[in-house]
Structure 1
Amino acid sequence: MSDLFASAGLDKDLARPLADRMRPQTLGEVVGQDHLVGPDGALTRLLRTGSIGSLIFWGPPGTGKTTVARLLAHETSLHFEQISAIFSGVADLKKVFEAARARRQMGTATLLFVDEIHRFNRAQLDAFLPVMEDGTITLVGATTENPSFELNAALLSRARVLTFQALDEEAIGQLLTRAEAIMARPLPLDDDARAALARMADGDGRAALTLAEELWRSAGEGETFDTAGLVSVIQRRAPIYDKGQEGHYNLISALHKCVRGSDPDAALYYLARMLDGGEDRLFIARRLVRMAVEDIGLADPQALVIANAAKDAYDFLGSPEGELALAQAAVYLATAPKSNALYNAYKASMRAAKEHGSLMPPKTILNAPTKLMKQEGYGADYVYDHDAPDAFSGQDYWPEKLGRQRFYDPVDRGFERDIRKRLEWWDKLRRERG
């Protein structure tokens, strides 16, 4: 193999990706995860006890999960075995477990690292339980998805979840400085472009090194890129955003809470994050409609009209022009007066409907299309409200066994302030007219 690289004019080590050549050799070299591998980190404390137990590493790509697992095996003198849930099935697991048992009989324990462990189904995850319990393996699973949702409770009860954080710009900067030492040349970037590169990596150390390697390949002799030159060379890195997974729900939740909290600027930011990540625009539009009815309601009846109009405008215009209509709706909703009175009233009325069964409405307000129904009193003494003073009769519309209820309690904000005054006036007339 060395002859092959030599004949091609390449150094064998230089042919390896920069990120692979820069893998930390000790836990102390891992950047951005001091809460795990620092002097008082969670893994540091576990190593002091001499037993780490089974672990689940949860965090975004490029934060060192695989590297830390490999280093843990070295620190604890365990045989390191790595598989990927994407390419492995139950038959593969059985082979791995059998090899671990044989190794154990020879006096060597096994640390089994399972990348993308959330890709296994429930039956495959259950297969780990007996070999974890009898000590055949120490499991270290890595996942980019929330273990609470993606892994079963039985496995989680036998493993400790440790969270890896996206690398901040300082940690990315440390990696780039190390890369310059290994490459024996500076990055061909000015200061602003260097900071931009750290941001473009989006917390992913591996991505930062891959981008840096691309820059070194692209730069001419003595050439230095500014931010515009950086963007032209590497284009852009797609943001981390999986429409079917946790990031999708995190951002829509953030958008909803910003609208509810009347912060239009934060709402625009999270809307932009979702649009930039390729989120389905009609999904966003549907959620804006939901916000209009859940958090604004009748405090501003136009909110629902605006949200629906934004959906129709996007349908009509498409991207990118229609996205401005979604932004307009988000800002309108965020700046509208807020009320969940209608939302609460709806939930309370549903509870009452379920709890009290099929109560008969008062016969007074029922139609009497047949002679028998008239004889039974259907429609008797009904007062046509338009003929009553103030167009309000004050008659009782509630089932006798239930009695009058109050579900809707409008707030003293926006249009609901006027509704509250109207309801209080009707209550006064109702009392006066008995």
Structure 2
Amino acid sequence: MLDLKLFQKDFELFAQKLKNKKVDEDLLKILSELFAQLKKEKAILEELQAFQNKFSKELSNSTNKEELKIQLSENKAKISSLNQKVNALQNELQTISHSIPNIPDDDVPIGKDEDENIELKKVLEPPRFDFEPKEHFDLAAKLDWIDFVRGVKISQSRFCVLKNEAALLNRALINYMIDFNCKRGFKLVNVPFLVNSNTMFGTGQLPKFKEDMYKIDAEDLYLISTSEIPVTNLYADEIIPKEMLPLKMTCYSACFRKEAGSAGRDTRGIIRQHQFEKVELVSITKPEQSDEVFEQMVSCGSDLLSSLGLAHRHMMLCTGDLGFSAAKTIDLEVWLPGQNRYREISSISNCRSFQARRAKIRYKNEQGKNELVHTLNGSSLAVGRTLVAIIENYQDKDGKIHIPDVLKKYF
């Protein structure tokens, strides 16, 4: 959540940054009008309060007490009425602010959509084949690794069943990712997959993305779309001792997302499912630590891909492609030879104090004052997409899949 006081103080700068993030201009106009109205009403209220304070003190020495009493009584009624109006305006602003995204960092490139993201670097060379590489769903069907028909039968579209070596490989990837992240200093936590609405609000899923969430009927519980949600909120409404920071955590979870806006996209295979698995990185830091920890998280995800022998690239997201809570994001995109293109496999984001303000996560700074922390999150990695990448990159001309050396001990 944005700092409304800073927003009002430098409205034009904030508004332009939000326009770059594709926030509706009509909404910004409403905000501008509310800020102006609130400023006007507060100025009148301050005048009325000053009158009340001044003449209340002079009442006992006044030569016209009765008339002054009447004036003070009328003025008090005006103050009460205006207080209600000011509170209503502040509540309206607060409600609107819940749906306004984080502002991008100054070094984030300005752009409309993913086509204007900036490639920072490539890591490893894509494999070369002396045959036409197949896509993962064709290979998996032939090997009886993934059952799409029965996944739909027991659930609905965008669900599948992993079988045989695919199920073993999936488990191996999860264990390997957790071990890799722990060696990089991220401590393992295990959290619920069902969380309440306050938790969803804290990291920005509610109210903005309510239509993408699976809710449990008649209960204040939602299935998580990423373990960033419960892990970040472990420290909601807490003041963390500064000695504990940075907190660096990793977590495996199943994730659930309606994919409401993805009709017609990735309808074949397991690139875009309603249920999927991730191993997540989450960090909570002092403001001055977050840039360094952000680089550590990007390196962790990239090095993990390299250890699996998977060619990938680093992409800086432009303003128009940034997520709701993110101030800066670097995507890691893995090479998929069956598709002959790079596809996102991880997003690492620095959310600055945006989520911390919503979730009320603070720490005691060097001056002993409560200050908002910075929160960061990133996939390390999306397990299903890593499975896809291994199937496509490690295929041979006979349709068999070879296993990366680092995973063999997990079988």
What TM-score do you get using the length of structure 1 for normalisation? 0.20
Q: Which has the higher strand share?
A: 2
Bigger relative CO (Cα 8 Å, ≥ 6 apart): 2
Larger Rg: 1
